[in-house]
Amino acid sequence: MKKLSMLVVHICLLSMVGFSGQVGAYDEVSLKKIKALGNCPSCDLSEVNLEGANLTGANLEGANLYKANLTGANLYWANLTGANLNWASLYWANLYKANLYKANLKEADLLLADLTGANLEGANLYKANLTGANLYWANLKEAIMYMAILEGADLKEAIMYRAILEGADLEGADLMWAKLENAEMKGAILCNTTMPDGTIDNSGC
C-alpha cells in the first residue's frame, strides 16, 4: 500500500504548511459575492482560499476555481456543473450529492473527500488524487479517470458506464456492485481490489 502509506505524511505537511497569507488571482468582487450570498456562477475564484467554508447548496456553475483551496469545505448539494477545479485542493471536503457534471478536476486533490452520491458524469479527473475518497453510489458515467489515484476508495454501487480508468490506481479500492459496463481499464492497477462480483483481484500486485 505504497501510496496509502504516504497519507500520514500528506496530512502532516498540510498541518505544518497551512494556507494563511495566500496570494490569489481571484476577483475580489467574486469573493465578496460568494461570502455574502453563497452563490457565484461563472465567477473567477482562481487561487481563492475558502478552506473550511460553508458552501452548502452553493451555485458555482461554470466558476473558475483553478488552484482554489477548498480543504475541508462543506459543498453539500453544491452545483459545480462545468466548474474549473484544475489543481484545486478538496482534501477532506464534503461533496455529498454535489453536482460536478463535466467539471474539470484534473490533478485535483480529493484525498478523503466525501463524494457520496455526487454527479461526476463526464467529469475530467485526469491524475486526480482520490485516495480514500468516498464515492459510494456516485455517478461516474463517462468520467475521465486516466491515471487517477483511487487507492482505498469506496466505489460501491458507483455508476461507471464507459468511464475511462486506463492506468488508474485501484489498489485496495472497493468496487462491489459498481456498474463497469464498457469501462476502459487497460493498464489499471488492481491489487487487493474488490470487484463488482465481490471477488478480490490481485492481478496488479
Number of domains present in the structure of the chain: 1
CA angle (126, 129, 132) in 5-degree steps? 135
| Within a domain: 95 | yes
Indicate whether 27 belongs to any domain.
Answer: no
Considering only residues 38 and 159, tell me which one the structure prediction assigns the higher pLDDT: 159
State pLDDT tens for residues 114-170.
999 999 999 999 999 999 999 999 999 999 999 999 999 999 999 999 999 999 999
Find the mean pLDDT for residues 72-91: 98
pLDDT given for residue 19 in this prediction: 33
CATH classification at residue 138: 2.160.20.80
What residue numbers bound the domain in which 108 lies? 38-197
Q: Is residue 26 situated within a structural domain?
A: no
Residue 73 within any structural domain of the chain: yes
23 located within any domain: no
- The amino acid at residue 90 is L
Burial zone of 17 (CB within 10 Å; 0-12 exposed, 13-18 middle, 19+ buried)? exposed
Residue 104 lies in a domain: yes
Is residue 22 one of the residues assigned to a domain? no
- pLDDT number for residue 17: 33
* pLDDT tens figures, 5-34: 444 434 443 333 333 334 457 878 888 888
User: Is residue 60 a part of any domain in this protein?
Assistant: yes
Q: Which of 3, 186, 1, 2 is nearest to 111 (CA)?
A: 3
